[in-house]
Structure 1
């Protein structure tokens, strides 16, 4: 196997990992939005864990918007973070696959 083939294989694997990480981050954010909209029990450990992770992931976009309704703030703030992570993660993965 030539060094170029091994390098391409490595970058393809790195691209897959980056895309999967972006997908998982967006999934957690989407899961929190769904749990919030369905009024999940916040005393539940799973709900609390998802909320904590989503809050950390969307720290930069949390309360970015000032809608009157709380559900709109959650959907816009956490949804924006999910879209940005998907876009950036898949853009980086696509660039890696080209090389």
Structure 2
């Protein structure tokens, strides 16, 4: 396997991981906005995963409305993961 091929595979993997992380966070935002049943195991799993992924940003904003805090705090984490993941992946594609 050539170095370029390995770099492309690594870049693709990084982009996929970033997409999955952002998707989990996005799914939690959607579940929150739609008032999903938090007693449901799947909803709890998504909430826990999103809270872990967005631990650095989920209480970053202090809007009065809960939905605004969730959308802004978790949404920021999702955007950062997408942006950084794809920037890193694109750099890997171009450098090798």
- Shorter-chain-normalised TM-score: which range? over 0.9
The structural deviation recorded for 1:37 is 0.2
> Following TM superposition, where does structure 1 have runs of at least 4 consecutive aligned residues deviating by more than 4 angstroms?
none
TM-score, normalising length from structure 1? 0.95
Cα distance in 1, alignment partners of residues 39 and 2 from structure 2: 49
Q: Which runs of 5+ in 1 are unaligned?
A: none
Render the CA deviation track for 1:46-79: whole Å, top value 9, x for unaligned. Answer: 0000000000000000110000000000000000
**What residue number does 1:34 align with?**
30
CA-based RMSD of the aligned residues comes to 0.8
| 1:20-46: CA deviation from partner (whole Å, max 9, x where unpaired) | 000000000000000000000000000
Of structures 1 and 2, the larger Rg is shown by 1
Structure 2 length normalisation: TM-score? 0.98
- Aligned residue runs from structure 1 range 1-99, under 5 A: 6-99=2-95
- Consecutive unaligned residues of structure 2, counting only runs of 5 or more, are none
Question: What is the aligned residue count?
Answer: 95
